[in-house]
C-alpha cells in the first residue's frame, strides 16, 4: 500500500503531471494512486525523486495498513 495520493494532494500536484514526468500513462499512475496496482520499487524511487521527498513518505506503515482493514 502506498500514500502517493496523499502526497500528491498535499503538494497540489495532478496525476497527469506525475504521469508525464514518469513517462507513463495516466491510467498507470491512477492505478498507483488508487492502490489498485503497486509500482515497482524502481518506479517508487523515481516518484520520490520527482516529488523531492524521501521514498519512505510514499509507503504506509504496517500500523496504517492494518488499521484500514
For residues 47 and 4, the answer to whether their CB atoms sit within 8 Å is yes
Q: Express each pLDDT in 12-55 by its tens digit.
A: 999 999 999 999 999 999 999 999 999 999 999 999 999 999 99
Q: How far is CA 29 from the centre of its chain?
A: 8
CATH class of 4-68: mainly alpha
Residue by residue, DSSP assigns 35-68 as TSS---HHHHHHHHHHHTS-GGGGB--HHHHHHH
Largest CA distance in the chain: 33
pTM, rounded to two decimals: 0.87
pLDDT at 4 over 60: yes
Amino acid at each position: 500500500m502506498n500514500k502517493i495520493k496523499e502526497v500528491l494532494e498535499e503538494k497540489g500536484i495532478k496525476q497527469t503531471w506525475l504521469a508525464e514526468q514518469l513517462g507513463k500513462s495516466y491510467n498507470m499512475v491512477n492505478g498507483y494512486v488508487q492502490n489498485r496496482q503497486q509500482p515497482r520499487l524502481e518506479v517508487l524511487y523515481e516518484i520520490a525523486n520527482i516529488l523531492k521527498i524521501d521514498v519512505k513518505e510514499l509507503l504506509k506503515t504496517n500500523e496504517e495498513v492494518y488499521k484500514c482493514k
